[in-house]
């Protein structure tokens, strides 16, 4: 909270996540929409921030801010994939500087890790967010869970396969760094 007030000077009463709830679920984007609709029907007043199409420096989720008594409460609605990405970034930010969550470069960005740099590694992590979103979009449009096996006949297999391949590639970059003994 102290960091937040320093980053965005404002009145304490205007901060939206003094209290918070996090919903993490194995679901597709349509199901995520359904949860958000249910929340908006339940509370008043309510504000929705959808960070899926326009992510906040790679962070994707839907935040529903509701008023409970005199307090604002932020309800984070995340798919499992969005959540995994966010947790990886939080853990990285512990070591490389919390500013990376808000568009800043890692501390000591040109510091070498294996034959690369922290900055290049960080760019690979951002790319993972885009790849995950692409897969989730395809899965939602096809009404086809991303963890399911073969796509049903007639659906766009090529698009799904391409998105999955992209995710494998960017995750492989991450694992490659880790296999080189980069301490994270």
Partner 1 sequence: MPQFLIVYNQLTGEVDLREYGDDARDEALERRFALELEHRLDPHIEVVLLGARSEAVLHRTHARYFKTVRELVDSA
User: For binding to partner 1 (CB under 8 A), which residues are involved?
Assistant: 3, 22, 24, 83-84, 87-88, 90-92, 94-95, 171, 174-175, 178, 184
CA distance 28 to 16: 26
For partner 1, the closer CB: 3 or 150: 3
Q: Which helix (H) or strand (E) holds 90?
A: helix 80-96
Cα R_g (the chain), whole angstroms:
18
Q: Write down the residue that tokens 């301490």 correspond to.
A: 183
Q: Which CB, 15 or 155, lies closer to partner 1? A: 15
Minimum distance of partner 1 from residue 151's CB (angstroms): 20
Rounded to the nearest whole angstrom, what is the least distance from the CB of residue 154 to partner 1 in the complex?
A: 29
Counted residue by residue, the chain has a size of: 184
Using the minimum distance from each CB to partner 1, give the nearer residue, 37 or 180. 180
Between 156 and 179, CB nearer to partner 1? 179
Q: Beta strand 71-79 with 62-68: parallel, antiparallel or unpaired?
A: antiparallel
């Amino acid at each position: 909270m102290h960091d937040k007030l320093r980053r965005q000077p404002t009145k304490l009463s205007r901060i939206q996540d003094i209290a918070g709830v996090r919903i993490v679920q194995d679901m597709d984007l349509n199901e995520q929409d359904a949860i958000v609709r249910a929340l908006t029907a339940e509370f008043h007043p309510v504000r929705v921030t959808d960070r899926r199409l326009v992510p906040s420096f790679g962070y994707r989720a839907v935040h529903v801010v509701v008023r409970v008594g005199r307090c604002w409460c932020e309800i984070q609605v995340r798919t499992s994939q969005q959540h995994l990405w966010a947790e990886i970034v939080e853990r990285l930010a512990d070591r490389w500087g919390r500013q990376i969550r808000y568009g800043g470069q890692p501390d000591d960005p040109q510091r070498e890790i294996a034959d690369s740099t922290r900055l290049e590694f960080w760019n690979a992590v951002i790319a993972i967010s885009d790849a995950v979103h692409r897969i989730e979009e395809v899965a939602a449009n096809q009404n086809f869970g991303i963890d399911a096996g073969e796509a049903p006949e007639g659906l766009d297999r090529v698009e799904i396969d391409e998105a999955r391949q992209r995710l494998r590639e960017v995750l492989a970059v991450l694992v490659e760094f880790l296999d080189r003994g980069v301490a994270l």
